[in-house]
Each structure stands twice: as structure tokens, then as C-alpha cells.
Amino acid sequence: MTDLAAPPAPPSPPGIRRAAPALLGYAAVRALGVLVLALWSAANGKSAHTLLTARWDSLWYTRVAGHGYGWEVRLPNGDVHSNLAFFPLLPWLERLLPTVLPLSTADAGLLVATVASAAAAWGIFAVADHLYGRRAGVCATLLWAVLPVGIVQSMAYSESLFTALATWSLYAVLTEHWPTAGVLASLAGLTRPVGAAVVAALWVAAIASFAADRRGRRAEGASAARRALGMALAPLGTAGYVLWVGHRTGGGPLGYLDVQAGWGNGFDGGYAFARFVGSRFTSAPGALAGLGLIVGVASLGWLYVVCVRQRQPLPLLVYAGIVTALALCASGYFGSKPRLLLPAFPLLLPLAVALARLRTGRPVAVVAGVAVASALYGAFWLNGSGPP
């Protein structure tokens, strides 16, 4: 009989003491970003609280939380924006929290984002610490915090919640806690469509471990049944919601794609994005923006190649590759691509390892300088076009 009752004893998640420098640094960066946003917004006669809780996608999530699914907006060009495009875990939490805490639905979303962003930071530290040591873990966490669009981590959006679930699922895969990894992957799949990347990472890692077992090249670890259980659990969230949407809309298994098409979203291999970049070169000011986009995309490709050369574990490479491909090759609104890349934290690990090798003063100076620039950009961004 296969043993389901005796899990392996891999390293436990890093405790709060070990992770404290990373988490304190992360909290400081996020506090700086929110403070600068508050000052900038006040100077412009706007409310930072409104920008963080009641703009763009946040409004759609709170409407789902308050009224359920079925609401849509018909645009003059015939497109239909349906709230079925938004996965349910964040709205569920926004509905649940006000029943136990004196919060509005919008503030519940902000609380979820705040807690989830800290959990995501801890998860990024855990993965990097497990692979490359504590200093690299601290650097990776801070690099994620100071990303130019890091202010999204403090918004009532689903990116922070998804990243938290994804990072801890990947950590569970790396440490062979397969059922835990499967549950977290399923929850990630209830949070955003890109949850499929977490499922794929888990499945590839599990298949590779089964193959290693057959070749006799793998030391004893989790039982085959536990790996199979993790594989079975992982896709339930994504598959369950997508199939439910298909049933509700009458579109069958692919009904969710029709919902996304109403928003102008789809996967075209990057054709629409390439056309958008090319269109920037029709004017002198736009040419500089187009060049910046090309450099940015090339930098992402270079980072991924470095990740491969760094011999990152296969699940991290699969996850980062799919998240990046879906972000860059989707045909939707191009201003949202930077925030769609937020969960691709493995791309930061080569930079984190490089920073960790320097004397402490240099990484601190680099991170502090970038944190200030990120805070200023985040405030400018949210008071302007912002993340749709």
C-alpha cells in the first residue's frame, strides 16, 4: 500500500527572525511608496485612498464582491466588458472580511493586498534563501519591492495575492511538499488566469521527479502518491472557474476566452504588442518611448537567459517563462503589461545574487536610490494613466 501518511522532512519555511531583514526592508519601501503617493495626490487635490482602492480593476472586484457575477458594460463599438473576466478569490475575501471586521468592501481589498504583499515578500525571500542564501533572499525581496510599478503591491488588486500564493506554492514544490503545493496552486488559479503558470510549474517538476525515480537518479523524497495528489489538486482552481464561466455563458469549455475577447484580450504571440511598439516610431517623442520598450523587452529576455545559465530549478524557469510570455504576448491594453509582470519574481534572482556578493553598503545604496525613484514614479503613475 502506498504511504500517504509519512511526508518527507524537507527544510521548513524560514522563520520570522531569519526573514526579518527582508520583511522590514520591504515594509519600509512600501511605506515610502504610500507616503509619496499621499503627498503627491494631496498636492493634486486627489485622494491616495481612492487611488489605491477605487480605481480601474479595483472597482470591478468590489462590484463582484458586493453584487456577484453577471454585470457587464457595453461599449459604443460593440465590445462587452463582463465582470466574469475577474477571477473570484479576491472578491470572495472582500466579501468575507467585512462580516468579521468593521471594513468596507474596498478597504477589505486593501487589507488583503497589504497582508498578501507581505506574504509574497516572505515567499520570495524563502525561495531565494533556499537556493542562494540569506543575503540573496533579502536582495530579491527588496528588488521586488522597488520595481517601478511596485505601488501596485499596495493597491486593492489581485497581483499581490496571486504572487503570495505562487511563491509559496513554488517553495513547496522545491521542498517537496506536494499536496501543499497543489492546494496553493489551486488557490492561485482562483486568483488570476496566469495561475496556469503555477500549475504548469508543479506538473513539470512532478513529472521530472517521476522520471528521475524511474532512472534511479533521485534520492528518496516524497512518495509517488503525494506527488500525484499535488498534481491532481493544482489545476482545480483554474479549471473550475473557467468551466463554470463556460457553463454560465453557454460558451462551453472555451467560454472564458470569449469573455476575455470582449475586453480585447487574447494571445496573439506578441503581434499586437509589436505593432504598438512600432507605432511609437511615427513621431520623435514616441520614438524614445518605443526604444525604451525595446530595451525593456530585450532586458527581460536577457534576464531569462541568465536564469537558465544560473541553473535555476526547472519549476521556476517554467513559471517565469509562462508569466512573461503571457504578459508580453497578450493583445490587451499595453499599459497593463508592467503590472502583469510583477509575479515573475524568478527574473530578479540573478540580480539578487549579484547584489548579495557586494559589500553591504553598495546594495543598500542601490536599493535606497531605486526605492526613491520607484516611489516617485508610482505616485506620478497613479495620478496619471495608472494601471488599468
Cβ contacts of residue 90 below 8 Å, gap of 6+? Answer: 61, 109, 112, 158, 161, 191
User: Collapsing DSSP states into helix, strand and coil, what is residue 265?
Assistant: coil
Query: 286 has which bridge partners?
Result: none
What's the pLDDT at 11?
53
Percent of the chain at pLDDT > 70 equals: 94
Give per-residue pLDDT as tens, 34-71. 999 999 999 999 999 999 998 889 999 999 999 999 99
Give per-residue pLDDT as tens, 117-146. 999 999 999 999 999 999 999 999 999 999
pLDDT tier, 387 (very low <50, low <70, confident <90, very high otherwise): confident
Among the residue ranges 95-109, 291-305, 366-380, the one predicted with the least confidence is 291-305
Give per-residue pLDDT as tens, 78-116. 788 999 999 999 999 999 999 999 999 999 999 999 999
pLDDT tier, 221 (very low <50, low <70, confident <90, very high otherwise): low
pLDDT tier, 212 (very low <50, low <70, confident <90, very high otherwise): confident
Give per-residue pLDDT as tens, 248-286. 998 888 889 999 988 888 777 777 777 877 777 777 667
CA–CA separation, 298 and 284 (whole Å): 21
For residues 107 and 122, the answer to whether their CB atoms sit within 8 Å is no
- DSSP strand E in 132-210: where? none
Average the pLDDT over 286-308 and give the result: 88
Q: What is the pTM of this model?
A: 0.93
* For the chain, domain boundaries: 19-382
For residues 352 and 307, the answer to whether their CB atoms sit within 8 Å is no
Q: What are phi and psi of 72, to 5 degrees?
A: -150, 160
What's the pLDDT at 188?
98
